[in-house]
Structures are given as C-alpha cells and as structure tokens.
Amino acid sequence: MKSYKFERIAKNYGRKQVLFGVSGAFPPGSTVGLLGLNGAGKTTLLNILGNCDRDFSGYISLRGNAVAYMPTRLPFPTFWQVREVLDFYGRFYKFDRFLADQLLLEAKISPHARLSALSDGMRRMVAFIGCYCTDAQVYLLDEPLTNLDAFLRAEIADLLIGRALGEKITVIATHEIKEFENLFTHICILRGGGLSPLKDAEEIRAEGMSIEEYYRGKAK
C-alpha cells in the first residue's frame, strides 16, 4: 500500500482563510497524532479528508469508501435508532455488522435506542463504532475521547491498539495528548493554516522531549 497523501488543501469560510495549502503524506501502518490549538483547523481538515466537505481546493490520494471518518457530531437525524445508523454504514461501506453489534453490547448501548435518548458520550461511542467497523484504508478520528467515561476510553484505546499493526492508517485529531501519546507513531501539528512536517514520535523522545513539550514548542 502507498502512503496516504494530500496536497495544497486550501479552504476559506467567506473571507476567513482557514487552511493555506496544507500538504501531508502518512506512511502505511502509521498512527498519526494531528495536534493543534483550538481554531487551528483540525476539524476543517478532517471534514475535507473525510468526504464531509467538498468545498475546497487541493488533491487527496484516497477518497470515497477507502476512508472512514468519525466526526465530532454524528450527521444523522436524532430520531434515528442506533441500528439505523449502522444500517446506513452498511449500505455505503464494507461494514462489519457482527463486530459493531458486539461492541454496542460491550458498551451497553441498545441498538433500538434513539440517538436523541443517548448521552453525548454514548453518541460518541456510536460514532466510533460506525467508523471502526468500516473496512477502510484510512481512519480519521476527530477528538474520539470527548465526553467518554474511563471505561469507554480504555475500550477505545484497546481497540485502536488491537488494530495498529498492519497497513491501515489512523489519524487522530486530539487535545488529549496524554491519553494517546504512546499510541502515536507520528506527530504533525496544524498551525497558522499550515501543517508541520511529519515527525516520528520515538525520534522526538530520543531527542529528550516528551510529545507534549514538542507540541508546546511548535503550536504557538
């Protein structure tokens, strides 16, 4: 498998330019931490990479159902039941429904519950399960741990670890560096509308810096 590449991604909201030609290449098998301050454009970039926003300029090497995306907000009507959400994924992707049902059970979320009846954290877990059980080459996760309790956080971490070997690429946009730092193989930082070059996480540590220190030095 080749690297996942995107080049010169530019995006503006009206007059406000958010991304000024962002380029990146993520190697197969990598787990990339996409870091950046609030308003740096992480969600904007992931919306574009994850097919949710087509109003941009630039090039992306993998599109369509090669990419699974967990957005911060589920884009489905809140009167839908959880199983309808999974049906939806099943219609458009190669989707492991068996695994999805099993994960729902472990998270104690009923497939017949309406989205409106779920807590924020449970909705996040449904979004994660939808993304995780999709058979794609690239997984994009936007703040996957927000509002989740300690049990579900651990569950998500274990699931991501279980799949980190192999060719698939996972990109995690997050502020929770501590929770993920040992999972990242690479780090890149979005700042001022541009993306820093990809940096090997162990290389950062070998230079005597923690991921957090590296990020603090680069983010401002």
Partner 1 sequence: MYFKGNETIYSQIAEKIRKKIFSGEYACGARLPAIRDLAVACQVNPNTVVRVYQQLTDEGLIYTDGTNGKFVTPDAAFLGQKKREYLQGRAAQFAIEAKEAGLSEGEALALAASALAGVFKEENR
Q: Which residues bind partner 1 (CB under 8 A)?
A: 29, 31, 157-158, 161-162, 164-165, 181-185, 202, 205-206, 208-213
Whether 106 contacts 62, CB under 8 Å: no
d(CA 66, CA 6): 14
Q: What's the min distance (Å) between Cβ of 177 and partner 1?
A: 10
Q: What's the min distance (Å) between Cβ of 171 and partner 1?
A: 14
Cβ proximity to partner 1: between 96 and 179 the closer is 179
Whether 9 contacts 24, CB under 8 Å: no
Partners of 114 in the β-ladder:
81
Cβ proximity to partner 1: between 30 and 44 the closer is 30
Whether 138 contacts 168, CB under 8 Å: yes
Cβ proximity to partner 1: between 33 and 71 the closer is 33
Q: What's the min distance (Å) between Cβ of 143 and partner 1?
A: 19
Q: What's the min distance (Å) between Cβ of 183 and partner 1?
A: 5
Q: What's the min distance (Å) between Cβ of 80 and partner 1?
A: 33
What does each C-alpha distance from 181 to 43, 79, 101, 145 come to in angstroms? 20, 37, 29, 13
Cβ proximity to partner 1: between 89 and 215 the closer is 215
d(CA 68, CA 190): 21
Strands 186-191 and 199-200: antiparallel
Whether 34 contacts 173, CB under 8 Å: yes
Q: 151 phi and psi, to 5 degrees?
A: -65, -50
DSSP 8-state assignment for residue 77? -
Cβ proximity to partner 1: between 120 and 202 the closer is 202
Q: What's the min distance (Å) between Cβ of 49 and partner 1?
A: 21
Cβ proximity to partner 1: between 73 and 163 the closer is 163
d(CA 56, CA 30): 26
